[in-house]
Structure 1
Amino acid sequence: MKNCLGAMDDTMILAAAPAHPGNAYRNRHGRIAQNILCACDFDMNFTYVYTGCEGTTHDARIFLDALSRPDNQFTWPASGYYYLVDAAFPCIEMFMPPYPRERYHRSGCYNEDGFQGYKDYFNYRHSSLRNIIERTFSLLKRRFRILYAMPPYRPVRQGMIITACCTLYNMIKIVTPNDEIIQGISNHRSEMQNSSTENESGETSHVVDMSSESAQAMGAMRDAIALPMWAHRFGQ
C-alpha cells in the first residue's frame, strides 16, 4: 500500500462527565466516556489527536467535525497519500476504508486459496495493516492509567490530559525505544508495515470533499491497489 501514511480511528477514554449532559457521554457499553479521534504512523507514533466529543457521538461525525474546522489543525496528506480508516468513515480522497459488504477482521490463520476474490483479500490486508492504530491505543492506555480513572475536571481539561498523554507517549517512544512496555507490543508489528512511506509535505488548510467525485477517486485508487495485490498474492 504505497503512500499510506498510517491509520486513523476513534477510541473511548473513560471520562468524568458533568451532571447535566451526563447521558450524552454514556456510550453503547453504558460507560461514561469521551470518543477521541487519533491518527498514527507505522512507527506507532500519534500524528493527530482530537478530543472533546461525547461517548454517544458517531465516529463519522467526529471525523467530519475534526477535519472541517481549521482551528483543529489537522495536517492534510499531500496529493496521492492517504490514511487507512474503518468502514464507519466515508470513502473519500486521502482516507481509504475497506470494501463494504465484504468480510473483515479475518483471523491470522488463513488459507491463501480461501479468499473469495480481490475485495475479500484486500480487506484482510487492510485489517492487518490498520491494526497499527489499535495497538497504539492499547500501548497508550497501558502506559497512562489515568485514562482509566479520569479526575473530575471540566471536559475541556480532560481532553487536555488525553492530549498530554499522547504527547508524552510519543516522547517516551523517541527517548526510550527499548522500554519494556513498548517492546512488548512492538514485537507484534505486522511485516506489512515495512511498505509504508512518510509524507513530508502535508497541508494544514483543506476542505473536506464529500462529493461523489471524491468517493470515485478513492474507489479507483483502492482498486488500483487491490487488483495487483490479488494478482500477486502468491508472490509471483
Structure 2
Amino acid sequence: MYELFNGHQGRFEDAVSMSKPVFLMLCDTLHSFGLTLPQREHGVPLEEKVAIFICVLQGMKMKDLQERFQHSKETLSQHFHKVLKVMIPFTAVHSRSFTPEHDCIGALDGTHVMARVSEEYATSYYGRKGVPTQNMLAVCDFDLCFTFVSAGWDGSMHDSRVLHYVTTEPKHRFPHPAPGKYYLVDSGYSNKTGYLAPYKGYRYHQNAHRNRRPQNEFELFNKAHSSLRSCIERTFGAWKSRWGALRNIQKLSFSNQVIFVCASMALHNFIHRNSEIDEVTVPIANSTEYVAPEMPDHDKYARVADVIEEGDSDPAMTVSLMNYRKACAYTMKIEWMKMKQWFENCCNTMAMFQRNKWNNIKGWAKALLSIIMWFSKNTWTRMKEIFIIDRMVAILALGMEVASTHGNQTHNVIDEKVNGENRDQLHINA
C-alpha cells in the first residue's frame, strides 16, 4: 500500500479502480459504518483492508493477493470478511437515491450473476444460462446508479415473478412509485400502475430500428421507450465491467455471495457519484447503441419457454396508464408527422430548385449549341465558297495555260504551211 500511495496515480487507479481521494473517502465512510482501525502497531491498516476487498472484487486470485499484500491466506480471508460485514449497512445507504423530479423515476430489469451452490440445492438455480445463477432485480436512475437491489433469487425464476414477490412482501422495502410516477420496464413485465411497458408485437430494441424508420405510432413509441430504458442496460454493463469477480464468483457461502454482489453495486454507486470522471461509465454512457454483455443462453435451456405466474399479469389494467401510453404515442406520432412533412417540403423545394436549375442549364446549352451550329454552318458555307473560287481560279489558270500552249503549236503549223507553199511557188517559177 505504501508503494501504491507514493507511486503513480494511474497505477493506483488500476490497482483499486478509483482515484486516491475517492479511495480515502471510501475508507472514512466504511470506518463510520464500523470498520475498525488496527489495535496494535503492526496490525493491518484500514486502507489495506479496503484494498484487499477491492482486489477480490476485481477478480484477483488468492495467490496473487498473497503476493501483492504479503499476507497468509487466513489473514486475507479474515480481513475480507470484516469488510464484507461492514458492507451490509453501507449497501443499505448507498443503494438508494434522491427523490426524482420527473414522472419517470427510473428503469427496472433483472440480470443474472454466476452462483456457487451445493449440489442438493443447485437444481432450482439452473436456468436458461446452463449454469447455476442467482437472479437479481435492480432499479436504476438516469445517472447510471442503482436505486434498489434485490439479489439471491433462484436462477430459474422468471423476472416478473421476482418483481411480484419483491413488491408484495414488505420486508424487501421496495420503493413503490408514487401516484403519477412510474418505472420503465421491458415486455417481460406487465403493463400496470406504476410500470410502463412497451407495445408487444412491434419492433422494440434499438438495433431493430437501425437504418429503418418507424412504420406507425406504436413502433415510434417503442423506439423512444427502448432508448430511454437503455439506462438500465448501461448501468448493468458498467457495473459488470468494473468488477471482474462477477464473472467468476468467489467460493463463499451463498448468503455471503448475495452480500458480496450487492456490495459491488453499492461501491459502483459510490465511485460513480464521487469521481470527477468515471473512466468505466463515461464510454458506456456516450455509446449511441449499447448492448450490455450478458451471460449467453445455453442451447438446452434457450428452447424452454419461461413460465409466467398467473398472478403476475394485471387483468384490471389501470385506464389512466393506458390512456397515458396512448397519449404519448399519439403525441409522438403528431410530432413525427410534422417533422416528416417539414422534411418532404424541404425535399420538394430542393427538387424544384434543381429542376429550374436544370432547365436553365438546358436552355443555355441549347442556345450555345445553336450558336455553334450557326457558326459551323456559316463557316462551312464560306469554306465551300472559297474552295469553289480557288478551284475556278485554278481551272482558269490551267485553261489559259492550255490555250497558250495550243496557240503556239497552231502558229508553228501555219508558219510551216506558209513556208512550204512559198518554197513550192518558188520551185514552179523556177
Q: TM-score, normalized by length of structure 2?
A: 0.48
Say if 2:64 is the partner of 1:64.
Answer: no
2:210 matched residue in structure 1: 109
Partner of residue 189 from structure 2, selected from 86, 89, 96: 89
CA distance in 2, matches of 1:47, 1:231: 34
1:209 Cα deviation after fit: 9.8
1:175 Cα deviation after fit: 1.0
Unmatched 5+ residue regions in structure 2? 1-101, 290-310, 343-430
Say if 2:110 is the partner of 1:7.
Answer: no
2:134 matched residue in structure 1: 34
Contact in 2 for aligned 1:103/1:123 (Cα 8 Å): yes
Contact in 2 for aligned 1:92/1:217 (Cα 8 Å): no
Partner of residue 220 from structure 2, selected from 115, 121, 125: 121
C-alpha change, 1:64 and 1:211, in structure 2 (3 Å) is: same
Unmatched 5+ residue regions in structure 1? 191-207
Q: Deviations over 1:182-205 (max 9, x none)?
A: 222122268xxxxxxxxxxxxxxx
2:272 matched residue in structure 1: 173
Query: Tell me, what secondary structure is at the counterpart of 2:280?
Result: helix
Partner of residue 232 from structure 1, selected from 335, 343, 368: 335
Partner of residue 235 from structure 2, selected from 131, 136, 151: 136
1:212 Cα deviation after fit: 3.6
Q: Deviations over 1:184-234 (max 9, x none)?
A: 2122268xxxxxxxxxxxxxxxxx996544443322221121110111125
Of all paired residues, the percent bearing the same amino acid is: 32
Q: Which runs of 4+ in 1 moved over 4 A?
A: 208-211
Larger Rg: 2
Q: TM-score, normalized by length of structure 1?
A: 0.84
CA distance in 2, matches of 1:169, 1:110: 34
Greater RCO structure (CA 8 Å; 6+ sep)? 1
1:177 Cα deviation after fit: 3.7
Q: How many residues align?
A: 216
CA distance in 2, matches of 1:125, 1:95: 16
CA distance in 2, matches of 1:153, 1:221: 47
Q: Deviations over 1:31-87 (max 9, x none)?
A: 221110000000111001011111111011001011111110111121111111011
Which letter does structure 1 place at the counterpart of 2:168? Answer: S
1:50 matched residue in structure 2: 150
CA distance in 1, matches of 2:286, 2:161: 34
1:188 matched residue in structure 2: 287
Partner of residue 156 from structure 1, selected from 252, 255, 264: 255
Q: Which moved more, 1:144-153 or 1:118-127?
A: 144-153
Query: Tell me, what secondary structure is at the counterpart of 1:6?
Result: strand
Which letter does structure 2 place at the counterpart of 1:224? Answer: A
CA root-mean-square deviation? 2.1
Query: Tell me, what secondary structure is at the counterpart of 2:144?
Result: coil
Q: Which moved more, 1:181-190 or 1:136-145?
A: 181-190
Q: Deviations over 1:118-171 (max 9, x none)?
A: 111111111111111011001001111111121232322211111111111000
Which letter does structure 2 place at the counterpart of 1:110? Answer: N
Q: Which structure shows the higher strand fraction?
A: 1
1:80 matched residue in structure 2: 180
Contact in 2 for aligned 1:6/1:84 (Cα 8 Å): yes
Partner of residue 200 from structure 2, selected from 64, 82, 100: 100
Which letter does structure 1 place at the counterpart of 2:230? Answer: N
CA distance in 2, matches of 1:177, 1:62: 35
Contact in 1 for aligned 2:161/2:312 (Cα 8 Å): no
1:222 matched residue in structure 2: 325
2:116 matched residue in structure 1: 16
Contact in 1 for aligned 2:190/2:314 (Cα 8 Å): no
